[in-house]
């Protein structure tokens, strides 16, 4: 893997687009060759088009890159990362894949398609086999691979090591950061001193996506996991980091100590992927952890933290929603595709 792959970012000026650029700066395999955004940004240098809002500075390698329109003819790349809204992604991502590009999408447009992999590399790496099915079905040279909703990623990653105990049902209550709604998604007067007990479409995604992620790939399709999931999702006045409370029912009725050990023993074997953290699941034994402000940047934002593992089984899980839950997840998917020879 000595040659770098020409890489573009679609929706490069937005909240997730900025995280993509942060993750791809100085990446050993992927070289940013195109930044695409809306017509109002096209033609400007990236430093002038993007209202950069991350803790880091705009990477120098992209600061003077000219932003191009979100159009196949304008983007010089073999791999594109999509941070587009789902309605726009439905058409644009198809245009790119039909032109032979590999699309690693954070958008929700194709997550439910039966021949499109919905991926968390530590959970279901074998599902990449759907790419071959997808290409055969559609006659494509390129392909689309998606990552799940940000809330789904956090807790589904922790469910994988619990499958050994006969996972049967999951109840989840989420406390979701405002950055999950984008830079301008929640007006300040609506969220200050407030909790919004509804996020449109979120609960449906949280209840359905894990069934595909934890399902079995039989060589031609995904057989969904037989698990009952019930969710209640809420927006809270936290900048970054989704905190989630889980109640998990398992046939073997493991003790909290066995569940804790399962988290500690979890090793997906992906240490050769640049974005994979040393410990994808970190156990926090302090009684008041995890917390977004203290734990969201663990593993460069790619680790999830669990704590308060109690009889029941009940526990808390927390992760960085725009890194582990969005841009970093797509980059990790692309790294796995490269490792498996799809790039």
pLDDT digits (tens, 9 = 90+) for 41-61: 999 999 999 999 888 899 999
Contact 256, 310 (CB under 8 A): yes
Q: Are residues 164 and 294 in the same domain?
A: yes
221 is in which domain, residue-wise? Answer: 150-321
Pick from 135, 125, 149: nearest CA to 103? 135
CATH number at residue 286: 3.30.360.10
Give tens-digit pLDDT for 55-85: 889 999 999 999 999 999 999 999 999 999 9
Residue 260: pLDDT over 70: yes
Residue 332: pLDDT over 90: yes
The pLDDT of residue 3: 85
Q: Are residues 171 and 312 in the same domain?
A: yes
Q: Are residues 275 and 162 in the same domain?
A: yes
**Across the beta sheet with 79-82, what order do the strands follow?**
68-69, 30-37, 5-10, 79-82, 102-105, 143-146
Q: Are residues 111 and 174 in the same domain?
A: no
Catalytic residue among 101, 127, 143, 242: 242
Catalytic residue among 101, 127, 143, 150: 150
pLDDT band at 2 (very low <50, low <70, confident <90, very high): low
Cα 110 to Cα 104: distance, rounded to the nearest angstrom: 11
For residues 267-294, give the mean pLDDT: 96
Q: Known catalytic residue: 338?
A: no
pLDDT band at 188 (very low <50, low <70, confident <90, very high): confident
Q: Are residues 61 and 128 in the same domain?
A: yes
Q: Are residues 164 and 91 in the same domain?
A: no
For residues 81-93, give the mean pLDDT: 94
Q: Are residues 59 and 37 in the same domain?
A: yes
Cα 337 to Cα 183: distance, rounded to the nearest angstrom: 30
Q: Are residues 110 and 230 in the same domain?
A: no
Looking at the DSSP bridge assignments, the partners of residue 14 are none
The pLDDT of residue 233: 98
Residue 191: pLDDT over 60: yes
CATH number at residue 60: 3.40.50.720
Q: What rounded mean pLDDT belongs to the chain? A: 96
Residue 1: pLDDT over 60: no
Q: What tokens appear for 170 in the block?
A: 């999951």
* pTM (two decimals): 0.96
In whole angstroms, how far apart are CA 326 and each of 146, 197, 323? 10, 22, 5
Q: Are residues 14 and 133 in the same domain?
A: yes
Q: Total structural domains in the chain?
A: 2
The percent of residues above 90 in pLDDT, for the chain, comes to 95
pLDDT band at 37 (very low <50, low <70, confident <90, very high): very high
Q: Are residues 55 and 184 in the same domain?
A: no
Q: Known catalytic residue: 242?
A: yes
For residues 29-34, give the mean pLDDT: 97
Q: Are residues 88 and 100 in the same domain?
A: yes
For residues 74-97, give the mean pLDDT: 96
Q: Are residues 331 and 300 in the same domain?
A: no
The pLDDT of residue 101: 97
């Amino acid at each position: 893997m000595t040659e770098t792959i020409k890489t573009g970012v679609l929706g490069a000026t937005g909240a997730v687009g900025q995280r993509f650029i942060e993750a791809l700066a100085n990446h050993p395999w992927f070289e940013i060759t195109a930044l695409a955004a809306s017509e109002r940004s096209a033609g400007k240098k990236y430093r002038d088009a993007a209202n950069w809002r991350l803790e880091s500075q705009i990477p120098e390698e992209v600061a003077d890159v000219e932003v191009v329109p979100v159009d196949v003819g304008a983007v010089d790349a073999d791999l594109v990362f999509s941070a587009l809204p789902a309605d726009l992604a439905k058409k644009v991502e198809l245009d790119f894949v039909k032109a032979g590009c590999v699309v690693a999408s954070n958008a929700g447009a194709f997550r439910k398609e039966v021949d499109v992999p919905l991926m968390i590399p530590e959970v279901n790496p074998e599902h990449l086999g759907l790419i071959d099915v997808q290409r055969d079905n559609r006659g494509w040279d390129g392909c689309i691979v998606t990552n799940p909703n940000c809330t789904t990623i956090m807790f589904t990653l922790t469910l994988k090591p619990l499958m050994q105990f006969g996972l049967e049902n999951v109840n989840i209550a989420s406390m979701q950061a405002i950055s999950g709604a984008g830079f301008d998604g929640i007006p300040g007067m609506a969220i200050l001193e407030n909790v919004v007990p509804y996020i449109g479409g979120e609960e449906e995604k949280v209840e359905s996506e894990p069934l595909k992620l934890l399902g079995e790939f039989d060589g031609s399709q995904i057989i969904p996991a037989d698990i009952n999931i019930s969710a209640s999702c809420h927006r809270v006045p936290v900048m970054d980091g989704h905190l989630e409370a889980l109640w998990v029912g398992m046939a073997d009725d493991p003790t909290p100590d066995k569940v804790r050990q399962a988290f500690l023993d979890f090793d997906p074997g992906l240490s050769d992927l640049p974005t994979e953290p040393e410990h994808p699941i970190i156990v926090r034994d302090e009684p008041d952890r995890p917390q977004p402000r203290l734990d969201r940047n663990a593993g460069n934002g790619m680790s999830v933290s669990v704590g308060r593992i109690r009889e029941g089984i009940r526990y808390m899980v927390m992760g960085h929603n725009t890194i582990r839950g969005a841009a970093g997840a797509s980059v990790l998917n692309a790294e796995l595709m490269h490792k498996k020879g799809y790039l």
